[in-house]
C-alpha cells in the first residue's frame, strides 16, 4: 500500500527517517497509547502496523483512527492506494515456511565495545555473558538479509532449548535499538513465551518489560518483550506463578498497561501487584535493584 500518499492526502504528519524510524518503515504518533513521539510504524514490506511501545494494531481500524475517516470510507478508498486487508505478520508461520533456528553471522563472545556499552549501563559484562549467554557482532553481521552489525545478541531459551534471539544496538545510532530474530527462524515465537531463567522461578515472579530489566532484577524476574502481552504469555504466567509484581517503566502509558495486565492475570487466579521505580528497572543501581527484589520476594 502507498501509505505515504494516504498520509499526505489525509494530512497525517509522518516520518520516513529519524528517531524511532527503521529502514522500510513510515512512522506516526500512535493513537492507541497517547504517544508523544512517532512510535507507530507501518511496514512498507509487510503492510502492517506496529507500535514500538504498545504492539500490533489492526490494519483498517488503525487507518480509521489516524485519518478520521469512517470505516466505510477507508474501505471505499483503499484501492486508490493499492491497499487491501494485508496478511498480519504475527500470524503463525506454517511448517513449510519455518527455517532452522540460528544466530546472525559473526556472533561471537563479547568484544571490548560490547563490554564497554554494558559497563556504561551499570552491568557486569562478564557476569551477563556467563549467566545469559550474550554474544556480540562486529561491523559485518546478517541473517536472511537482515543486518545485525554492532549488536549484543540475546539468545532466548525455553524449556532448556534456544528457540529465538533478540538483539540490542550498541552504537545508539541505529533507528532500531532492538531487532528480533526473523519470525520463520524462531522455533517458538518469542511472544508465546517469557524471557528469564525458567528453571529458577518460584511462586512469585517479577514481571518486567525486556531482557535488560531481567538482567538487573535477576533470576526471580521474567519479561514479556514489551508491555503488549499475548494470550499465550498470560497462560504461561498463570502456569508458572501464583503471584506477580509488575515492574514496568515509570511513564503513563506503561503504567496504564500495567494496571490492565494486573486485572487480566487476576482473572486467571494470579495475585498481581504493581511496583513503581523512578525511571526503568534496567537503569537502577544494582544495590537498589537487589534490595527491591528482596523486599518483593520475602
| Mean pLDDT confidence for 135-164 | 95
pLDDT of residue 135: 98
Whether residue 184 sits in one domain with residue 116: yes
Whether residue 226 sits in one domain with residue 285: yes
Residue range(s) defining the domain that contains residue 122 = 112-188
Residue 277 sits in a domain whose CATH number is 3.40.1360.10
Contact indicator for 186, 193 with CB cutoff of 8 Å? no
Nearest Cα residue to 132 out of 221, 40, 67:
221
> In which element (H, E) is residue 174 found?
none
Whether residue 210 sits in one domain with residue 180: no
pLDDT of residue 86: 45
Cα gap 179→184, rounded to integer Å:
14
pLDDT of residue 133: 96
Work out how many domains the chain is built from and give that number: 3
Does 85 have pLDDT greater than 70?
no
Whether residue 269 sits in one domain with residue 215: yes
Of residues 200 and 18, more confidence is placed in: 200
Share of the chain above pLDDT 70, in %: 95
Does 144 have pLDDT greater than 60?
yes
Residue 95 maps to a domain: no
Residue 88 maps to a domain: no
Whether residue 182 sits in one domain with residue 123: yes
Whether residue 146 sits in one domain with residue 72: no
pLDDT of residue 76: 81
Cα gap 35→28, rounded to integer Å:
9
Residues 114-127: tens digit of each pLDDT: 999 999 999 999 99
Cα gap 269→287, rounded to integer Å:
32
- Angle, helix 252-266 to helix 231-240, in steps of 10 degrees: 60
Per DSSP, the three-state class of 274 is: strand
What does each C-alpha distance from 160 to 118, 176, 200 come to in angstroms?
Answer: 26, 29, 12
Name 269's Cβ contacts closer than 8 Å, sequence gap at least 6: 238
Confidence class for position 94, pLDDT limits 50, 70, 90: low
Whether residue 218 sits in one domain with residue 144: no
pLDDT of residue 90: 46
Residues 169-182: tens digit of each pLDDT: 999 888 788 888 98
Contact indicator for 243, 270 with CB cutoff of 8 Å? yes
Contact indicator for 29, 13 with CB cutoff of 8 Å? yes
Residue 91 maps to a domain: no
Residue 100 maps to a domain: no
**Residue 183 backbone phi and psi in degrees, to 5:** -55, -40
Amino acid at each position: 500500500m502507498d501509505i505515504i500518499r494516504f498520509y499526505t492526502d489525509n494530512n497525517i504528519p509522518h516520518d520516513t527517517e529519524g528517531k524511532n524510524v527503521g529502514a522500510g518503515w513510515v512512522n506516526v504518533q500512535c493513537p492507541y497509547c497517547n504517544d508523544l513521539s512517532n512510535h507507530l510504524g507501518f511496514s512498507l514490506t509487510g503492510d502492517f502496523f506496529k507500535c514500538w511501545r504498545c504492539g500490533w494494531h489492526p490494519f483498517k481500524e488503525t487507518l480509521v483512527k489516524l485519518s478520521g475517516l469512517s470505516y466505510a470510507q477507508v474501505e471505499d478508498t483503499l484501492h486508490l492506494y493499492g491497499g487491501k486487508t494485508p496478511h498480519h505478520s504475527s500470524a503463525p508461520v506454517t511448517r513449510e515456511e519455518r527455517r532452522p533456528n540460528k544466530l546472525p553471522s559473526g556472533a561471537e563472545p563479547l568484544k571490548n565495545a560490547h563490554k564497554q556499552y554494558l559497563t556504561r549501563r551499570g552491568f557486569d559484562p562478564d557476569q551477563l555473558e556467563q549467566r545469559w549467554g550474550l554474544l556480540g557482532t562486529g561491523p559485518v553481521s546478517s541473517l536472511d538479509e537482515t543486518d545485525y552489525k554492532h549488536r549484543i545478541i540475546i539468545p532466548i531459551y525455553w524449556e532448556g532449548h534456544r528457540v529465538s534471539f533478540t538483539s540490542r544496538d550498541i552504537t545508539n545510532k541505529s533507528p532500531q535499538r532492538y531487532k528480533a530474530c526473523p519470525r520463520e527462524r524462531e522455533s517458538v515465537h518469542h511472544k508465546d513465551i517469557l524471557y528469564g531463567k525458567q528453571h529458577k522461578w518460584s511462586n512469585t515472579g517479577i514481571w518486567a518489560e525486556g531482557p535488560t530489566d531481567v538482567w538487573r532484577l535477576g533470576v526471580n524476574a521474567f519479561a514479556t518483550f514489551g508491555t503488549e502481552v499475548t494470550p499465550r504469555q498470560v497462560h504461561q504466567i498463570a502456569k508458572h506463578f501464583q503471584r506477580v509484581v509488575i515492574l514496568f517503566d515509570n511513564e503513563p502509558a506503561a503504567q496504564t498497561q500495567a494496571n490492565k495486565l494486573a486485572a487480566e492475570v487476576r482473572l486467571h487466579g494470579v495475585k498481581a501487584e504493581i511496583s513503581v521505580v523512578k525511571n526503568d528497572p534496567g537503569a537502577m543501581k544494582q544495590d537498589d535493584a537487589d534490595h527491591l527484589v528482596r523486599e518483593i520476594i520475602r
